[in-house]
Amino acid sequence: MKTKQDFPTINERPPEGVKTDGTKFRVLIVDDSMFVAKQLGQILSSEGYEIVATAADGKEGVDKYKELCPNVDLVTMDITMPRMDGITALEQIMAFDKNARIVMVSALGKEELVKKSLLLGAKNYIIKPLDRKKVLERISASLK
């Protein structure tokens, strides 16, 4: 029995991480936690996104962004990190590239911090613990 022909799938949709031209959206993950970087990487890769690099603090994130630009479509940015926090890194990346798409990912949900991030140019804000659905929704919305 040729199931594929008998039952055409109605659920098929293109993975969100792939652009209309077939290439993948390229993501830079900035997070000092190996656990969170891995978790984000798994969620995003499963939807077709490509993780081009990860950085373990804000300073490294800014450096990697400058190095990769323009071959990076989105940055996920932690806030509490050693050396340079994510808010400072957000400011520096926005100053370097005003079209940068940055999504903050933090366990801190303080309203003033969310407001500040958005005012500084962040596209969205994800509060941890990470939930697959929440992450994919916010990331794909930020790429529109």
Chain residues in the site for other proteins (CB under 8 A): 32-36, 38, 80-82, 106-110, 112, 128-129
Which residue number, 30 or 100, has a Cβ lying nearer to other proteins? 30
Q: Which of 97, 92, 89 is nearest to 57 (CA)?
A: 89
Question: How far apart are the C-alpha atoms of 15 and 46, rounded to whole Å?
Answer: 9
Spatial strand order of the sheet with 124-127 comes to: 50-55, 26-30, 74-77, 102-106, 124-127
Q: What's the min distance (Å) between Cβ of 41 and other proteins?
A: 12
Q: What's the min distance (Å) between Cβ of 34 and other proteins?
A: 4
Q: What's the min distance (Å) between Cβ of 9 and other proteins?
A: 26
**How does DSSP classify residue 25?**
P
Which residue number, 107 or 118, has a Cβ lying nearer to other proteins? 107
Which residue number, 7 or 35, has a Cβ lying nearer to other proteins? 35
Q: What's the min distance (Å) between Cβ of 35 and other proteins?
A: 4
Which residue number, 100 or 122, has a Cβ lying nearer to other proteins? 122
Strand stretches in 1-144, DSSP E: 26-30, 50-55, 74-77, 102-106, 124-127
